[in-house]
Structure 1
Amino acid sequence: MRRAVELAASALGRTSPNPVVGCVILGADGTVVGEGFHRGAGRPHAEVEALAAAGERARGGTALVTLEPCAHQGRTGPCADALLRAGIARVVYAVPDPDPVAAGGARRLRDAGVEVTGGVLRAEAERGNELWLTAVRRGRPCVTWKFGGTLDGRAAAPDGTSRWITGPESRQDAHALRAAHDAVLVGSGTLRTDDPHLGLRHGVTGSPPLRVVLDRDGTVAPHARVLDDAAPTLLVTGPHTPEPVLPHRHEVLRVPVTEGALDLAVLFDRLWARGVRSVLLEGGARLAASCVAQGLLDRVVAYVAPVVLGAAAHPVLGDFGASTLLAGLRLKLGEVTRLGDDVRLLLRIRELPGDAPPGPACGAGRTAEGDVA
């Protein structure tokens, strides 16, 4: 199963709106006879790839898969049926499928006389498929806020300079994090201040994510770097903003303006409808605060540098309405990693593993108690 988790991770960032899934087939004698992973929507599922590699050696054997085999006829057939046709005698899976459309494969297999065991290495498999699982359980894209900051929570010096607070190891890791997400989101303030490119650099390969730029008033300059041809860009504007002139690869998405700001909940609903299951929020402080206040944040990846800038510097997070300690957003510490002189923290709004329905939104006036992610 641990090998299946590794296989699943090899396609991270390339399978949406589908999950990452890995599968290992053991022959009747217990030896590995086939491996596979899902490579993208419309491509064979992990079980089908592994069965194709195993051939007749799969008959009477065991399939180990990171996610419960699907029972759904979509662009590909149900994996439960493929396992039955191959003569698999035992199926071991890590995580039950939370998607009501695709779930039910374990029951179908049991009804056909296959021995089925669930929950094996569930925690590891949950983390490997965390972005998709969180999205399906929430019914919107999983939102990760990424920032690089100082020990005292500052994103830039008083004069606005921020390159480079963190070291090269952190910057490379941040681009790998970007590559694992379907979309990267910034506000117009970050766009005007930093003119970010939002592509993949520092030796990170793969398909760059969809670049999503909030531009309520249509102020993005036509020569902004996010409008080059390195990746598609979605320019999000208000309903009455003049139509911008964009290169053919890019699009405009209009969403309502609520209390003077673009409605983020509507934006995430529209992104979900486009097949986006994960969004990396990269800037800036006000946009991150809005996500916190509206309960739209799921994870935080913080790159903390051994630097102190003081109160006059720019904070990593704006005001989201927390006037007391109890009103603050209390996160669950997941992982701590040293990257050169920096420390990378992965924090979650809720703990893994689990499959409980969402609780109350976390934000201003609430603590981070609630369901698992």
Structure 2
Amino acid sequence: MGALTPPSASAARPDSVQRGLDALVYDDGLPAALASVKDREGREGQTRNYTAGVADLATKAKVPADGQVRIGSNTKTFTAVVVLQLVGEGKVSLDAPVDTYLPGLVRGDGIDGRRITVRQLLQHTSGLPEYGDHLDDHAMQHQYFDPRDLLDIALQHKADFAPGTKWAYSNTNYVLAGLIVQKVTGRPLAEEMEQRIIKRIGLRRTYFPTPGDMTIREPHPKGYYQDAAGAPLRDFTKIDPSWGWAAGQLISTNSDVNRFFGALLSGRLLPAAQLKEMRTTVPVGHTGAGYGLKLMSRPLSCGGVYWGHGGDIPGYEVRGGVTDDGRAVSVAVTEIPPDAAVTERLEGVVDKALCR
């Protein structure tokens, strides 16, 4: 880190988004940053793509505009949309217990699928422990996990709290949501996402990697990972993403992420009743953010809120969202920021893009 040289001061003054990306690279030391910004009109030519840094620290290759990245927990919103589509079709009930669809599967210390509802899974109020806390870096990069393997890891640990009494983020919730989709439809989750979302709204550069597919198919910046503070960055681009599954396996681009959240908020993916459920939030911390059914609202410095989610997976972090009037931005960086202050500056780029 620190090897990159900022653009010449004599260059034309960049706009606030470019300045924000440049700062993430040249001040905060992230290898690369890329963004896609869509104006409210959404017409052809109204989307602008930005890049900063290098796609490869060894070769100093240029960052591909709107390159593919792993989008991490934005995958959860795709999963939630499929579940809510099934709710709209009368095949799933939000307030039914998990045992209705996966009888006897969810049992453990303080854990009982007869007392956890589908809504609590989607809203992270189930109390289910986080399986990811018990995976090491080697496993996350090289090991294949079946979704049931991930659930088994979680069920070896005590519940964090009684269902419905608190809020706590847990990937385990979305493994179960994905298993419910597969049980109800009789089809793989990836196929349901492909038919119900990806093809439906034309996400041409978004896909759910098949088992054993450790690469990123199209032009992309490499993702990097730091084992510990002060350790050198290592290439973490090629991984087996199965440990993320319904909670974090998708690959996409910033522009496709914008298209997805724009389609969702405009009612193209869900009936009005289910979209209203998705947008019904509980407070998260003291930031003014709210958490719905895998859709978050965050306040804007210029007033109002924007809706989205965000995601990280070793090698990449993505932040962004859309406003009710159709403005959209997605920003990706090629290393999970090393501290919360850098993440705040990343989210500040989102705010500037939506407020300008």
Both structures adopt the same fold (TM-score exceeding 0.5) = no
Which structure has the highest strand share of the two?
1
Q: TM-score, normalised by structure 1?
A: 0.25
Structure having the higher Rg: 1
Q: TM-score, normalised by structure 2?
A: 0.26
Which structure has the highest helix share of the two?
2
Higher relative contact order (CA 8 A, sep 6+): 2
